[in-house]
Structure 1
Amino acid sequence: MIDTLASADTTVWLSILVKTLAYAATLVAAGSVLVLLGLRELTEDARGALRRMAMIGALAAAILSVLRVPVRASFLMGGSIDGAVDPMMLGVVADSPLGASVIVRLIGLALILAIFLPVRGAKWVALVGALVTCASFALRGHALGDPRLLLGTLVTVHIAGLAFWLSAFAPLARASRKEPAVKAGELAHEFGMKALWIVAVLIAAGAATLILLGATTPDVLATPYGQAFVIKLALFAGVLGLAALNKVRLTPALQAAAPGAAQRLRRSIVVESALVLAILATTAALTTVTSPPHERTGMAPLQPKTVQTAATVSGNLPWGS
């Protein structure tokens, strides 16, 4: 995969960038709602900040998700700008799994905005929106393999867990900066307890998905897809290592109001955030330039520089569409 990226053109890199930003904004939008409802130690000020973060994330995710359609159309036309505005190519992409995923995601993002409505039950509408948004990832990529329902469920659960994790960083950093050390420590402790379950779910869902895709054999690990998986695994191991450090050392120090504990926690959160963004970027690159073992679908990966007709594209859309 590294060799492929080294020779990639501007369109490929643009596709990876837009996809990475869309992933991050979508996870923040959905995760902000999950954190808002999942962490009891949040102050009212923190809850207001999370509502604003959910709104900004939802609007950014909507724009970036829609933008992926013309970028994908240009990609399929070999990087041609004309492809981004060609009605036929735009129609092909809109009718593809990517188009379906974007439509469902927009619905979920719209429901997330209910978090601002001053009516009873609005937060549950936003929760449905968050889950629908997470489920939109299951409408494309490797979730389209068999068994589709199980793979889709695993992908949705995986995305929801990652969204919660990523979106908890901001309120944790905010609490360590604005709240008394003991109060911030209580929030960090609550997140740490829930994070244990999230880690277990992420590992179980990821492992089950790889097994179902047949992506655990030595032959697959030697492919670009396998190389990307190893990179993601190494990055995730770094996240887990920092999470363990936070729980075992930094959180108790914060609860005890130890000097410098809040600053150390914020530095750890910055590094964790960077690692998660690196995971998202790796995923974006993986789904753009390669695909899971194609024995599962019988489809060969699409070559970025190949200009194709609408009929060819519609019948040979890759996993990363």
Structure 2
Amino acid sequence: MAELINILLRLALYGDLLLLFGVALFALYSGHASLRFSPLLRGLALLGALLSVAGLVLMTRAMSGETEFAALWPHLQMMLLETEVGLAWALRMLALMVVLIRPGWAIASIAGAVALASLAWSGHGAMDEGSLRFWHFLSDILHLLAAGAWLGAMLALVLLARGRVDEARIRLLTHAVKRFEWVGAAIVLTLSITGVVNYLFIVGPRLDDVLLGAYGMLLAIKVLLFAGMLVLAALNRFHLGPALERSIRDGQHVIAANALRRSVLLELGMALLIVALVAWLGTLSPDAG
């Protein structure tokens, strides 16, 4: 039961911080005054802080074996003051406080990136040493940031496509989709490269028995879902995006917006499944059977 709670907490925290950074970044590079995401960013920052507190308490309880708060408190202090995980946690909380106080796009993007990057210290990279540790952390952080940029953009596009659809909304949506095109290409390239690099860091240059275990099966499902997202992204880029532009001329606003929203919702759902798999994979060893 404790392991399931740990996985669910990791899933919620990963999803929250990925969206926090991604939505703020999307608002920044879209550069449109109509994108009012400040309440959403504040809500995500608050939720992220609460989940971080719960995660730290759960981790400390698991490591110390203590259940009473009075007995747990010294262990919490030691975790915060004497470990890298505690330092990363404190930095994350500071970044989330910044977003709560000043949820401007540029500030929230930087603070969201810091909060999201802090999750790397809870991953497999923390087990490495020396220069290998540095490069593994760098790859993990870039992977997290790219994933956050993709998830946040999808949520932002869904929010933009909902509600009353008129020509002004379609022009805003078309502009946002166009801005995302070059960002999306960089995201896919970064995710692909860092995904392979992280596999080599964690597993090494082998497939054989790894793919037959629980870790390998979950990783294979993750790769298949990522491939499915690439197909949907290509559909959005080469079909649904141009359809939005045509709808400005022919007046078929609702049809074009609904088609894009359905596609992006499906893509977002697949992305959240990948996040769930990542949360699970983070609790397993590559040699898990």
TM (norm. structure 1) is 0.76
Q: Using a 3 Å threshold, how does the CA distance of structure 1 residues 128 and 171 change in structure 2: closer, same or farther?
A: closer
Alignment partner, residue 21 of structure 1: 12
Alignment check: 8 A CA contact 1:250 1:264 kept:
yes
**Residue number among 86, 96, 109 corresponding to 1:109 in the alignment:** 96
Measure how far apart 1:88 and its partner are: 5.4
Separation in structure 1 between the aligned mates of residue 114 and residue 138 of structure 2, nearest angstrom: 12
Establish whether residue 222 from structure 1 lines up as the match of residue 222 from structure 2.
Answer: no
Q: Which residue of 1 aligns with 2:155?
A: 170
The one-letter amino acid of 2:91's match is V
2:234 paired residue number: 244
Q: Does residue 234 in structure 1 map to residue 224 in structure 2?
A: yes
- Do 1:70 and 1:84's aligned partners in 2 also have CA atoms closer than 8 Å? no
SS of residue matched to 1:86: helix
Is 1:139 matched up with 2:121? yes
- Name the SS for the 2:285 alignment partner: coil
CA RMSD in angstroms, aligned pairs only:
2.6
1:291 maps to what in 2? 285
The answer to whether the 8 A contact 2:27-2:105 is kept is: no
Instruction: After TM superposition, give the deviation of residue 263 of structure 1 in Å.
Output: 0.7
Question: What is the CA–CA distance in structure 1 between the aligned matches of 2:7 and 2:201, rounded to whole Å?
Answer: 26
Show the 5 A alignment for 1:255-294.
Answer: 255-257=245-247, 258=252, 260-288=255-283, 290-292=284-286
Unaligned runs of 5+ in 2: none
Which range moves more in the overlay, 194-203 or 30-39? 30-39
Label 1:11 to 1:249 Cα distance change in 2 as closer, same or farther (>3 A): same
Deviation at 1:232, TM superposition (A): 1.2
Q: Taking structure 1 as reference, are residues 91 and 225 closer, same or farther at Cα in structure 2, changes over 3 Å only?
A: farther
3-state SS, counterpart of residue 260 of structure 1: helix
94-103 vs 135-144, which moves further: 94-103
Distance in 1, Cα, partners of 2:10 & 2:228: 23
| Residues paired across the two proteins, number | 274
Matched-pair contact (CA < 8 Å) for 1:181–1:262: yes
How much does 1:256 deviate? Answer: 0.8
CA distance in 2, matches of 1:84, 1:229: 40
Shift of 1:86: 3.1
- Pick from 151, 164, 168: which aligns with 2:136? 151
Partner Cα distance (1:114, 1:171) in 2:
21
- AA of the residue aligned to 1:185: T
Structure 1 residues 74 and 175: CA distance shift in structure 2, 3 A: same
Matched residue of 1:154: which SS?
Answer: helix
CA contact (8 A) 1:11 1:74 kept: no
Displacement of 1:91 in angstroms is: 5.0
TM-score (norm 2): 0.84
1:59 shift after superposition: 0.7
Q: Is the 8 A contact 1:134 1:160 kept in 2?
A: yes
**Which structure is higher in helix share?**
2
How far apart, CA to CA, are the structure 2 residues paired with 1:285 and 1:176?
Answer: 32
CA contact (8 A) 2:215 2:286 kept: yes
2:198 alignment counterpart? 209
- CA gap 1:115/1:62 in 2 versus in 1, 3 angstroms: same
Q: Which residue of 1 aligns with 2:112?
A: 130
Deviations 1:128-157 (A, max 9, x none): 312211320222322222412111111111
Which SS does the other structure have where 1:256 is aligned?
Answer: helix
Cα shift readout 1:252-289 (whole Å, capped 9, x = no counterpart): 1111114612111111121111111111111111222x
Q: CA shift at 1:198, angstroms?
A: 1.0
